[in-house]
Amino acid sequence: MSAEESITEESNGTDDLSEVDDEEVAADAELVEEDLDEFGQLAKERDDFREMAQRLQADFENYRKRVERQSADLAARLVVNLVTNLLPVLDALDLAQAHLGEEADQSIEATALIQARSLFFDTLSKQGLALVPGQGEPFDPQFHDAVAHAEGDGSEDGQVIDEVLRAGYTWQGAVVRPAMVRVKG
């Protein structure tokens, strides 16, 4: 074999190797591309699941806050309802105290009644019950319910409460029951 033939054979061998290498590289490139496509799909799925989890977490947080708010509102309404139902008891104690009069020598029962009324009102006051301003105060339809009218003497500006017929109360700033009053002016 001459040197030229051996070079030709060697160059033919490298051509075969480069063809094999090109085919392997092409196959490897396809596998890598498939792996990259699969990786991209998995990354997209991961992102979708992350977004879904974040949405669910936000929805749950909103639900929790809404339930807390509804529970607080319900509790507040129940307390106002209870206080409203206790007001006739306070009215009865006030009426009983008014019937006792201003006697200097009150009986033990009368003293007990006055103390019980005072304890009951003080306990409710500490929690937020307040008496609506009454006699001599300007009439305010937000806090007073005028059921009678008396002629004024002309000295007052506007309408003034002449007499409180039934006490009115507010609970933590909101009117629970307006005062029933007679207005002068």
Q: What is the mean pLDDT of residues 91-118?
A: 84
DSSP string, 118-159: HHHHHHHHHHTEEEPP-TTSBP-TTTEEEEEEE---S-SSS-
CB neighbour list of residue 113: distance below 8 Å, 6 or more residues apart: 93, 96, 97, 100
Q: Over the stretch 12-71, which tens digit does the pLDDT of each residue have?
A: 555 555 566 778 888 888 888 888 888 889 999 999 999 999 999 999 999 999 999 999
With bands split at pLDDT 50, 70 and 90, how would you rate the model's confidence at 4?
low
Tell me how far CA of residue 2 lies from CA of 11, 14, 15, 16, 173, in angstroms: 14, 19, 20, 21, 115
Contact at 8 Å (CB) between 132 and 167?
yes
Q: Closest Cα partner for 150 from 177, 185, 176?
A: 185
pLDDT of residue 20: 62
Which residues on neighbouring strands pair with residue 151, listed in sequence order? Answer: none
Q: What is the mean pLDDT of residues 142-150?
A: 88
Strands (E) in 36-184, as ranges, are 129-131, 144-150, 160-166, 169-171, 174-177, 179-184
CATH topology of domain 129-185: Nucleotide Exchange Factor Grpe; Chain A, domain 2 (2.30.22)
The answer to which of 33-37, 77-81, 176-180 has the lowest mean pLDDT is: 33-37
User: Does pTM top 0.95 for this prediction?
Assistant: no
- Cα-Cα-Cα-Cα dihedral sign, residues 53, 56, 62, 66: negative
d(CA 53, CA 79): 39
